[in-house]
Amino acid sequence: MEENPIDPELELNKILDDDTFQHVNNPIVGIKPIIKKYLGIPNHADQLGNKFFFTDGEAKVEIVVVTPEIIRVRLAPHGVFLDEFSYAVPKLEQKVTAFTLLENEKEYRVSTNSINCHIRKEDFFISFSDSKDHVTSMDAVPMHWEENVSFGGYYVFCTKTCAPEESFFGLGDKATELNLRGKRFVNWNTDAYSFQWNQDPIYRTIPFYISVNEGIAHGIFFDNTFKSHFDFGAEKKDQTSFWADGGELQYYYIHGPHMMDVVKNYHIITGTHPMPPLWAFGYHQCRWSYYPEAKVRAIANTFRKEQIPCDGIYLDIDYMDGYRCFTWNKKYFPDPKKMISELAADGFKTVVIIDPGIRVDDNYWVFKEGKENRHFCRRSDDYFMEGHVWPGRCQFPDFTNPDVRTWWGGLFKGLVEMGVAGVWNDMNEPAVFGTGTFPDDVRHQYDGHRGSHRKAHNIYGMQMVRATYEGLRTIMKNKRPFTITRAGYSGVQRYSSVWTGDNVATWEHLKLGNIQLQRLSISGIPFCGTDIGGFSGEPDGELFTRWIQMGTFSPFMRAHSAGDTKEREPWSFGEPYTSINRKFIELRYRLIPYLYSTFWEHHRYGFPILRPVVMQEQEQHNNHFRQDEFTYGDKILICPVLEQGQKSRIVYLPAGKWYNFWTLELIDGGKELDVLTPLDTIPIFVKAGSVIPEYPVMQYVGEKEIEEVKLNVYFSDYLANSFFFEDYGETFAYEQDIYSEKKFAVNGTKTSFTIQQSMEGLYTPRYEIYNFNVTGLPFTPSKIIADGKTITDFSVNADKVLEFKYSKNFKKIVLTK
């Protein structure tokens, strides 16, 4: 039978009637508009070790179990993930073996012993719960994305529910209240001279926040280096969102349940700060600029004449020849090596500034080397990235290239040989006069994962100070470098300290600095400080002194000021300010063993150094809004005086028993109290049960051989532990266990008090004696037994403090009525 013949005209009409027909000369007809696209319905799951993959048929989500408390989430809109790479998380190590994947009709569930990640089948919502199935984080809409036509890739979005009393903390150095609820932020490192309250963005990008709701804390770390945005219930009160202008939607859910646990777990993946040199805990003096050499020497001599301790003195850009990095102005500093050597003989460490901009000058050796080796950034059409900063027309190294970092690190050899002890990296947002920063089309090597400046901007400063730190560490052999950077990204703590940037000499900025340091500390940046006295503007004596008092309990303590302001050294305002400033700087030096031990707890265990009240008592919602008080470590509570002419102020003490540092009065916590604040004091309280080590006052760290260490012991009627860390203070021997970590355990009753000591590590301090000062005994001791031996030489002073001395190697001391 013959088949029906095909009628070509009928077939053509069918095609023309088809709605999907596109004429070959008009191919864009019918292309769908660019809109946000959302995850569909998950229909398949795969497992590869500790990685789980879920797909809706096109997009794919990866769930990685990192530790029992940390799970990473990644989204690939078309099923293909970007290469595994992060500057914040150098190596994602699997630290968990017990995890499961369960499936039922409603969800997939990835579980560890501590947390669960739920992938809802109905709509691809992702949520997290604890081991009791209490939901702590839940999507409000599925993860979504939008194509970026101009640059390629996607805008990526994640939106989660926000509970009525949920609070948010962290995000680095944001210039606002401690609790971020109801606010919106942008992360794009910015040179923010004289920034104001609520100005955003400023210098750093730390895309990590902590949520506290119903007394349970968790963290979200959005590891994306593009310009990112966070909304904590600002647009919609019941939603919190984070999104970025490119890159991958990749975040870590970090469980608590305590804020402290969240920060410790964050440090597991991003690292902790290496131990700084001991001298870095001293007082630092800086100005833009101390020059010529005679001025530097005069400042140093006045510190010693006034008997005000100081360890660091800084040289700003005027020490250079025409602001060319790695050079010296021989008119101002004819023999820098001799000057630095003589400063060192008087106990001063010299810190110099180095910026990223390298002057375009073929007679300048640094530029010549960089040019010959193609170390400078280029734009999309292969022109060099050029911009004007302090030296004039400059080019800029690509610090995302490991070869460039190695070259840059080697440039410090001459400075180190001259005796320079530390390096200060500035202008590395990166800042460019006129345009603000680099254009978006600047290209970066990005450790082999190439990208534009949109991708590299927020990590440029971090990679600069990384190159500086690694170079110094190589050149200085086993000696610890000291570095400080203005810009940074999560993980910068592995390489550098930070300061809050170009602040202003106002009481508002004193308050803001107090909040910023607490925020940086709980955001994973432990070694932080402000420009004491304000960088711009003119403080009076009262403001400067109140700032010195707060700075005494900042992890990093440095005064700094702009060149168009009056000088502001601790003696600049005359009496009574000079004496009060001396008193507090001396207190800083007395407490260095405690400050140093607290830093060890950060380095080894991931504890934050400054801890806001909410971190002590997160279950009390009122504490979510306290931002004046904080503890340094867990033993000393400080409440700076933040108002002009303030004669007293309200201080909240967390639950427990506390001693007034000045009067030794024992006070029950869990309440507010009104504390007198004459100019020469600020409220300081010590937790009962603390053992606070104290060194003798020195004019600089290492000035004197320590013959004995004072142990300030505060009675408690419950078991309390304290730590005391010591090592050589300037080498990396602690990495080979050459340190001394002493644990003190105290406990008392109405008639007895016991002090026990245990030790680990291979370091032996040269002193032999502890000088015990025991405060708060509820009885008059008649007998002291130390390791089975009776101590007869003891006394009780006018403040009712028991004093006696005994061997540093004791194991158990018992005081009885």
pLDDT one-digit tens code per residue, 90-133: 988 877 779 999 999 999 999 999 999 999 999 999 999 999 99
Phi, psi of 12 (to 5 degrees): -65, -40
Mean pLDDT of the chain: 95
Q: Is the dihedral of CA 112, 116, 119, 121 positive or negative?
A: positive
Q: What is the pTM for the complete model shown?
A: 0.95
CB neighbourhood size of 665 (10 A):
11
**CA–CA gap between residue 150 and residue 153 (Å, rounded):** 9
Residue 481 in contact with residue 472, Cβ under 8 Å? Answer: yes
Which residues on neighbouring strands pair with residue 504, listed in sequence order?
Answer: 536
Which residues on neighbouring strands pair with residue 386, listed in sequence order?
Answer: 395
**CA–CA gap between residue 724 and residue 809 (Å, rounded):** 13
pLDDT confidence of residue 16: 43
Active site residue 17: no
CA dihedral 708, 712, 718, 720 (to 10 degrees): -60
CB neighbourhood size of 647 (10 A):
10
Segment 657-670, tens digit of pLDDT? 999 999 999 999 99
Residue 64 in contact with residue 50, Cβ under 8 Å? Answer: yes
Identity of the residue numbered 668? D
pLDDT confidence of residue 33: 81
Q: Is the dihedral of CA 500, 506, 508, 511 positive or negative?
A: positive
Q: What percent of the chain has pLDDT over 90?
A: 94
Provide the pLDDT confidence category of residue 5 given band limits of 50, 70 and 90.
very low
Residue 389 in contact with residue 325, Cβ under 8 Å? Answer: no
- pLDDT at residue 179 greater than cutoff 70: yes
* Residue 374 to residues 119, 304, 363, 366, 392, Cα–Cα distance (Å): 48, 47, 17, 12, 20
Provide the total of helices (H) and of strands (E) in the chain, helices listed first: 13, 54
Secondary structure of 54-89 as H, E, C letters: EECCCCEEEEEEEECCEEEEEEECCCCCCCCCCCCC
Peptide bond into 68 cis (omega under 30): no
Identity of the residue numbered 569? E
**CA–CA gap between residue 32 and residue 57 (Å, rounded):** 20
Strand 497-499 versus strand 528-529 pairing type: parallel
Mean pLDDT of 687-714: 98
Segment 286-309, tens digit of pLDDT? 999 999 999 999 999 999 999 999
Measure CA of the first residue to CA of the last residue in the chain; give whole Å. Answer: 121
Q: What percent of the chain has pLDDT over 70?
A: 96
- pLDDT at residue 70 greater than cutoff 90: yes
> Considering 429, 569, 694, 730, which one is annotated as catalytic?
429
Mean pLDDT of 608-630: 97
186: helix, strand or coil = strand
Classify residue 731 by its DSSP letter. B
pLDDT confidence of residue 27: 55
* Residue 696 to residues 9, 39, 685, 815, Cα–Cα distance (Å): 104, 63, 21, 26
Residue 263 in contact with residue 522, Cβ under 8 Å? Answer: yes
Segment 229-283, tens digit of pLDDT? 999 999 999 999 999 999 999 999 999 999 999 999 999 999 999 999 999 999 9
- pLDDT at residue 218 greater than cutoff 50: yes
Residue 710 in contact with residue 693, Cβ under 8 Å? Answer: yes
Mean pLDDT of 642-656: 98
Active site residue 726: no
Mean pLDDT of 442-470: 98
CA dihedral 634, 636, 637, 638 (to 10 degrees): -130
Which residues on neighbouring strands pair with residue 74, listed in sequence order?
Answer: 62, 250
200-233: burial string, b at 16+ Cβ within 10 Å, e else: bbbbbbbbbbbbbbeebbbbbbbbbbbbbbbbbb
Active site residue 429: yes
